[in-house]
Structure 1
Amino acid sequence: MSSRTELSAHDDQPAPTVTVLGLGPMGRALAAAFLAAGVRTTIWNRTPGREGALVEQGAIAAGSAEEAVAASALTVVCVVDYNASDAILRREPVVAALKGRTVANLSADIPERARETAEWAARHGIGYLDGAIMTPTTTIGTPAGVFLYSGPEHLHRAHRPVLDTLDGSHTHLGEDIGRAAAYDIALLDIFWTSMAGYAHALAVAKAEGVSARELAPFAQGISAILPALIEQSAEEIDNGSYPGDGNPITSSASSMAHIIHASEAHGIDAGVLRAAEGLARRAIGLGHSTDGFLRITEVLGRR
């Protein structure tokens, strides 16, 4: 569900508040969206000097991290990774100030780190939600933003009115605190392997005298095939079937071999495709020659 909720204080209710720790591009976008929705926003960054524009918009710049977290029931953290968030949150004055409050950590990292941080928070009486932002800074504060959360449902429900002011879609994925990070890793895997494939395609095309502009409309056509394939294959994969009707994995391996040969003829590194072809050949060797390419999902886990 996507809706922008603007909060305002009433005579019998205090103004909604939030603290944002981390003022990189995404942190600044989050703080700006909260401010635009009328949320009293306290900000802090390890490196001073990024507060100016936000303060002009009404943000309150805290002098320390402990002062910042003490200003709000909800603290949103958005830094480069959990090493960075740990360096902020686990200092004794901050830990003491956070007791009885909630942290929503929107920094990127792996599920194991999310679970470990949740255990740390529980030991110190701190509410903890893990989250992931799946869209770029330009979408924050618009219906195009996508936010994922995991952790205690009652905490998500309690802070949803403030989080919703960021606009976009907000999905609570369940009580397992590592679930948002798991989605984040899987979805970014799709993105970066796709971008690596596109970069390789551009290199091959350029070597053959085809410009990026000439290739672009056809590249978009190829990418448009993927949504239907993803939807169609989801139930099959969950059921453990990988039908290769019309396009068996043997055909996939042959196609990849052609790309590898064309690439290496121009001196272009084909390591990524060689790895993918190797997985396909391994699946064929295991007796899955009539299955589809996604059979390698099972092969990837074999040792």
Structure 2
Amino acid sequence: MTQNIAVKSPVTLLGLGAMGTALARTWLAAGHPLTVWNRTRARADALAAEGAKAADSASAAVAASPLVIVCLLDDDSVGTALDGVDLTGKDLVNLTTTTPAQARARAAWAEERGARYLDGGIMAVPPMVGIPEAGGYVFYSGSRELFELHQEALAVPVGTTYVGEDAGFAALHDVALLSAMYGMFAGATHAFALVRRENIDPVAFAPLLGNWIKAMVDPSVEQTARQLVSGDLTADVVSNLAMQVAGTTTLLTTAEEQGVSAELIRPQFDLMRRLLAVSTGEEDLTGVVDLLLA
């Protein structure tokens, strides 16, 4: 009896930092023939012991597979690693963190060299890779045809979310979400600073803070999106701009009383006051979005 065994597509991976190594191990575990290259050879050798083929050069690694995945430090690293490498006929997937403009330029650069290009923004940290329930995923943008062709292999480490033909959209989504994350961290940092010198257990305080942020974020971002689409910034407003601006005085005074710098929250309050100066005060905070575009 002849057994039908699905042949897994070969993958080349350039870059074996913490994220690259985590990605590599998932493709190996899933049975994909894997060729790896890293500037520091020892990392490639470690994966060779687990079944990967360690290439002596980036050029040799690229030649080994139709699908080439790049996960390096930055855009300059990608250019350096692939300088002079023949990319003709290759499908190049760049998971390196870049700006949208760099992603678009790299897509044009790849096309000039005869390669098809997908850009990716990884929304995960290495411990989340290979664990579906962890919720990690990668934004992809560029050729939809190319994404669909390789989606099965790309989905092995983490989930996949395609966000458009514009090669810069994956990076833009990535940076937008990361920017929101750091803004959230700023607020949480300020909150911990306020209670730092008091007889308040940070461990007991943490779930109160985390649950409050969660309760506020989901409805807030959804309402902001609806208002941006409709143009009606007064729709479904619960706490209007005028009331919120008035409340900032108490927050700033409390920071001063606690001996805490307000540098993390003052910029947001300054924007809110600027918006109030040119509006009725009956709307929500959504107008700050367009204020940032001025």
Q: Who is 1:45 aligned against?
A: 38
Query: Residue 6 of structure 1 aligns with which residue?
Result: none
- The alpha carbon displacement at 1:52 in A equals 4.0
Match of 2:119 in 1: 130
Pairs aligned (count): 288
- 1:216 maps to which of 203, 206, 211: 206
Q: Quick check: 2:138–2:160 contact (8 Å CA) kept in 1?
A: yes
Whole-angstrom distance in 1 between the partners of 2:280 and 2:10: 57
The answer for the alignment partner of 1:258 in structure 2 is 250
Give 3-state SS (helix, strand or coil) of 2:256's partner: helix
Shift of 1:14: 5.8
**Structure 2 partner of 1:17:** 10
The answer to whether the 8 A contact 1:249-1:292 is kept is yes
Supply the distance in 2 between the matched residues of 1:165 and 1:82 (Cα, whole angstroms). Answer: 24
Q: Which amino acid aligns with 2:277?
A: G
Q: Structure 1 residues 255, 45: CA separation in 2 closer, same or farther (over 3 Å shift)? A: farther
2:171 to 172, 181, 184: 181
Structure 2 residue runs of 5 or longer lacking an equivalent are: none
Asked if the contact 1:257–1:277 (Cα under 8 Å) also holds between the matched residues in 2, the reply is no
The one of 99, 104, 123 aligned to 2:93: 104
Where structure 1 has 5 or more consecutive residues not aligned to the other structure, the ranges are: 1-8
Q: How far did 1:26 drift?
A: 0.6
Does residue 293 (structure 1) correspond to residue 282 (structure 2)? The answer is no
Q: Is the 8 A contact 1:19 1:41 kept in 2?
A: yes
Asked if 1:82 corresponds to 2:75, the answer is yes
1:161 to 149, 152, 173: 152
Partner of 2:231: 240
SS at match of 1:282: helix
Does the CA contact (< 8 Å) of 1:256 and 1:273 recur in 2? no
Contact 2:227–2:286 (CA under 8 A) maintained in structure 1: no
The whole-number CA distance in structure 1 between the counterparts of 2:237 and 2:19 is 44
36, 42, 56: which is aligned to 1:63? 56
SS in 2 for 1:293: coil
* TM-score, normalising length: structure 1: 0.89
Structure 2 letter corresponding to 1:246: V
Q: Is the aligned partner of 1:273 residue 2:265?
A: yes
CA 1:52/1:205 → structure 2, altered by over 3 Å: closer, same or farther? Answer: farther
Instruction: Give the one of 124, 131, 145 matched to 2:136.
Output: 145
Q: Deviations over 1:83-118 (max 9, x none)?
A: 2222212x11x2x2x211011001111100000111
Q: Distance in 2 between matches of 1:116 and 1:209?
A: 54
TM-score by length of 2: 0.92
